[in-house]
Structure 1
Amino acid sequence: MKAAVIVYPGSNCDRDCKVAAETAVNADVKMVWHKETHLSDDLDLIIIPGGFSYGDYLRCGAMASVSPINAEILRHAERGTSILGICNGFQILCEAGLLEGTLLRNNSLKYICKDVMLDVTNNNTRFTKAYGNQTKAMMTVGNGEGNYFADDDTIKLLEDENRIVFKYLENPNGSKGDIAGIINKKGNVLGMMPHPDRAFAKELGSDDGANVFKSLMQL
């Protein structure tokens, strides 16, 4: 598998994502600075990592969503390349219009960093096939604006099209419908607030996140 991790000013989980993909599936991972204007057509996966791109000024992910590299991310999304946005990456995908909804301040108005248990609500996507019959997964959240919001019609659309991939068992941030991760209509773009890059080995407390990467090997 060939993968690229996009690095924005303020990204702080870029190397976590690189190590996770290398460890889970022996991926060949390249770090790509946000000012680059080309991504190779032979990429299997683009990862948009967590962190605080542009210091979370304006809105989380808003400034990163118009970085030079994002024209290439949009091009790859259209051609069907797998794109995984984690935490700040999820925010960037929403700001770029690749996923519906937005991420608001946590309802506690506090930064939250903790292990969370998730429901794997759709194990038939290119990102979740490796979960098989496993319906629960433990990962870690670390965010101040992880409160997923969309209007009722959008939530119904996501439910009707089975595009809610992960839900919180105990909602840590107030996300509407307990939503922790969603996928686009085409099925090649996943945004999720929990970090599979912090849960890819038993030594980290959970290896449940590794299945996100392993699933892509089944394409």
Structure 2
Amino acid sequence: MASVNALVITGYGTNCHEESAYALRTAGAENADIVYFSDLAAGHVRMDDYNFLLCPGGFLDGDDLGAAQAAALRWRWSTSKDGTPVLDQLKTFFDNGGLILGICNGFQLLCKLGLLPAVGEKYFERQVSLSYNDSGRFEDRWVTLKTNPASPCVFTKDIEYMEVPIRHGEGKIIPMDDATLETIVNNNLHAVQYVDPETREPTQEYPYNPNGSPLGIAGLTDPTGRILGLMPHPEAYNHKTNHPSWTRGTNPDFPLGLAMLEAGVNHLKTQ
């Protein structure tokens, strides 16, 4: 059984790295190192020592230039002291079977790097972006999610519904064009959707869909299923007492958000 050695990237405004690393360890990862991107870029740490990459939430660079835009440029142009571009390390990491999870700001980063949705397996070519919520304000609430059973995503395996918190101001998915959205749907790359908690069907209705994302899309995967990005925070629901209704016993019998991280860890351990 393979060991899971996780890398959690922080720095430049990221603020969810501690709970992300904790959630990974709770999910069964043998190791979860919190590493500043600057140390990765300097060559003090190398990605080939890991098999699970988590890009957590936060406010990268204060969301200047647009959410995660500056960070995407940093990933594209940083080169370590030995002359190895960080992006080459990332490509090798993925080609060697590594898993990548991007949460909130991390999802925005993966989209702007072109790792998601990678329609037609065109990696590192931007096909979608994320823009301001239709409400025009920062949304901080719990949402109900439905996973797509036809999706290849390894992180959503055996999960049907979840309740998890969201906290973002730029979460609306904007495809490059209508054809891109159609291809995403036809290939089941829409891994997670916001749903009405009563009907449990994907919705555009606010506040169940907190940002107005088309088709209620809350998260995307790539054609291999080894990359997932989503706006909600599964790592923030790692114990039953995190749920606002736990003392009243009114929360649905859904799995913890931790189940997504556990699915990723179990995938690596069975390879």
Tell me whether the two structures share a fold, i.e. TM-score over 0.5: yes
SS at match of 2:107: helix
Paired residues of 2:48 and 2:89 also in contact (CA < 8 A):
no
The alpha carbon displacement at 1:61 in A equals 0.6
Rounded to whole Å, the distance in 1 between the matches of 2:51 and 2:26 is: 16
Which position in structure 2 is the counterpart of 1:211?
259
Alignment of structure 1 residues 27-66 onto 2, 5 Å: 27-35=30-38, 36-37=40-41, 38-66=45-73
The amino acid that maps onto 2:239 is A
Paired residues of 1:2 and 1:44 also in contact (CA < 8 A):
yes
Rounded to whole Å, the distance in 2 between the matches of 1:43 and 1:57 is: 30
Find out whether 1:184 has 2:222 as its counterpart.
yes
Per-residue CA distance 1:124-170 (angstroms, 9 max, x = gap): 521112xx2x4211111100001111121111111111111100012
Which position in structure 1 is the counterpart of 2:188?
162
Find out whether 1:195 has 2:233 as its counterpart.
yes
Taking structure 1 as reference, are residues 70 and 42 closer, same or farther at Cα in structure 2, changes over 3 Å only? same
Rounded to whole Å, the distance in 2 between the matches of 1:39 and 1:184 is: 24
Rounded to whole Å, the distance in 1 between the matches of 2:258 and 2:235 is: 8
Which position in structure 1 is the counterpart of 2:154?
126
Per-residue CA distance 1:48-71 (angstroms, 9 max, x = gap): 000111111111111111323454
Among candidates 85, 90, 101, match of residue 84 of structure 1 = 101
The amino acid that maps onto 2:64 is Y
The amino acid that maps onto 1:81 is G
Taking structure 1 as reference, are residues 126 and 153 closer, same or farther at Cα in structure 2, changes over 3 Å only? same
Rounded to whole Å, the distance in 2 between the matches of 1:81 and 1:49 is: 16
Moved more, 33-42 or 191-200: 33-42
Paired residues of 2:47 and 2:89 also in contact (CA < 8 A):
no
Taking structure 1 as reference, are residues 75 and 208 closer, same or farther at Cα in structure 2, changes over 3 Å only? same
Number of residues of Structure 1 aligned to a counterpart in Structure 2? 216
Superposition TM-score, scaled by structure 1 size: 0.92
The alpha carbon displacement at 1:26 in A equals 4.2
Which position in structure 2 is the counterpart of 1:96?
113
Per-residue CA distance 1:87-132 (angstroms, 9 max, x = gap): 0001001111111411100001100010000011136521112xx2
Among candidates 13, 26, 44, match of residue 23 of structure 1 = 26
Taking structure 1 as reference, are residues 213 and 63 closer, same or farther at Cα in structure 2, changes over 3 Å only? same
Paired residues of 1:83 and 1:188 also in contact (CA < 8 A):
yes
Among candidates 179, 183, 198, match of residue 153 of structure 1 = 179
The amino acid that maps onto 1:104 is S
SS at match of 1:140: strand
SS at match of 1:41: helix
Paired residues of 1:199 and 1:207 also in contact (CA < 8 A):
no
Paired residues of 1:51 and 1:87 also in contact (CA < 8 A):
yes
Query: Structure 1, unaligned stretches of length 5 or more?
Result: none
Rounded to whole Å, the distance in 1 between the matches of 2:10 and 2:87 is: 11
